[in-house]
Structure 1
Amino acid sequence: MHIAQDDIMQESYPTVLQLYKLALLVPQSTAVVERGFSAMNDMCTDLRSLGQQTLDSLMRINLYQEELLEEDLELVVDLFKNKKERDMPL
């Protein structure tokens, strides 16, 4: 049985239960943060300076690309199919 669902534990040891819940919030590794810094360093180099807004947008795309593609890919394809004018002005 999960400790948070145990009524006896909640009544007998409320402080221990609070500590347990707080311990669940502590990240087990810094891998996600390190990946974010690595991606930022790949995007923003000495030869390529990016504005804050552009860097923020690129970081969000990089970090959440799988989630965004899974949710919106069919919608984007449908919008493209239904769009009448596909020529790009030069």
Structure 2
Amino acid sequence: MAKYAKKAGEKVEEEMHEMKEGKLKTGTGKKVTNSKQAIAIGLSEARKEGAKVPKKTGAKKAATRKVSAKKANTKKTAAKKGS
């Protein structure tokens, strides 16, 4: 299980409270109504402040897909050159 710093939990709690009050806004200025989005904002801000927060899972998956796609592509080009 991923380990989060206590500061990260406090930051998420702050952001959730702001969302429930209707004060939390996105980067474009719209109100945040989704709790998952509020959590993401809290974790992002905690990361910026230097709290120990695991890497984003979406970024990890995208990087893995890119690497596996590159490997598959190089295998295809190597097979074409060999024939």
Q: Same fold (TM over 0.5)?
A: no
Larger radius of gyration: 1
TM-score (norm 2): 0.30
TM-score (norm 1): 0.28
Higher relative contact order structure (alpha carbons within 8 Å, sequence separation ≥ 6): 2
